[in-house]
Amino acid sequence: MNERELDHAERARVFDRPSGGRAPLGARHDYRDHATQALDTGADPLGTRRWARTGDAVTMCADKARAKRIKHWLASLPKRKGTSSGRAPLLSWFVSEAEKTGVVLACAVGETRAEAWESCEGCPERARRCYAHYGTPGMALGSIERATQTGRGYALADALHDAREAGVKLCRIGTIGDPARASAVQRDSDIEAVRAAGYDIVGYTHFPGEVPHLRRTLMASASDMSAAVRYVADGWRVAVVAPHGTTGTLDTPAGRLLECPAIAAERHGRTYTCVDCASTRRGALCDASRADTLPGAGVYFADHGPQKLQKGRLPLVA
């Protein structure tokens, strides 16, 4: 049984906390025998791989002989596209309070900065020093990576509990890393769970061709206008990074592109977040589930990353 065939609900039962709230930091003693159980059965029904990657499967096993067998077993698992380990990265869930988004339920693609970086292999923005990897989203994932090494988990159930406490209504998929490259089993089931919990979803992918079934969940990020035209023809709502200083509504070969209202407000010295945008009657402009009723073919973001990186942007219209 490979990871795509795992019963995600069973894995969630083990790793996600009950409705009573978050477990104490490092409280993993209940999972001590899961690695040996998986080894004995020849399967991985409890998602052992998730926490084994931090060394828990070996260090938490009192029997050194069994620990050695587990280590060899993990190394023999089939490799899959996604990271240097061959396994697709998992989503790390948390509540974000980023200035531009507002308070949202969010996830990063991967449990380490290396996993997030590798999930973006082939993205042209990465070669131009992507703001997510070199800016605050990357630093936030670095904090998650360090906390994970101490035993803290970033499961959806914990984040949903925290989001309910904070009154959050919006979910941001993929603050860093590309959702198209995440574990398909976890990603699709988590998206379903988030929608069932009543959250609107905003997210972006540079690889829409790899996840055509998510065209009403994610926006297609286009690196140039020819890509935007292709994505719109395939039924995607698009997001484009425009040169620094671009303003107003644009009529392009891909259709009408609307300026991100948060960036427009910032230009006038006001604060407007993704949460504010989602709270309008029309809903968030980047909510792909509303593509049939939202104005325009998509949204553009005038480059708002570090100024020293803005010179490397391609022109919006070729």
pLDDT at position 14: 36
For the chain, 318 residues long, give each residue's pLDDT as a single digit of tens: 444 444 344 334 333 333 334 333 333 333 333 344 444 444 443 344 433 333 333 444 445 666 566 556 545 544 434 445 567 899 999 999 999 899 999 999 999 999 999 999 999 888 777 888 988 898 899 999 999 888 888 999 999 999 999 999 999 999 999 999 999 999 999 999 999 999 999 999 999 999 999 999 999 999 889 999 999 999 999 999 888 889 999 999 999 999 999 999 998 999 999 999 999 999 999 999 999 999 999 999 987 555 544 444 434 432
Sign, CA dihedral 134-136-140-146, equals positive
Beta partners for 201? 171
Cβ contacts of 261 within 8 Å, gap of 6 or more: 272, 276, 277, 285
Rounded Cα gap, residues 307 and 12, in angstroms: 42
Helix (H, G, I), strand (E, B) or coil at 98: coil
pLDDT at position 130: 84
Q: Where are the domains of the chain?
A: 3-75, 91-310
The three state secondary structure string of 111-138 is: CCHHHHHHHCCCCHHHHCCCHHHHCHHH
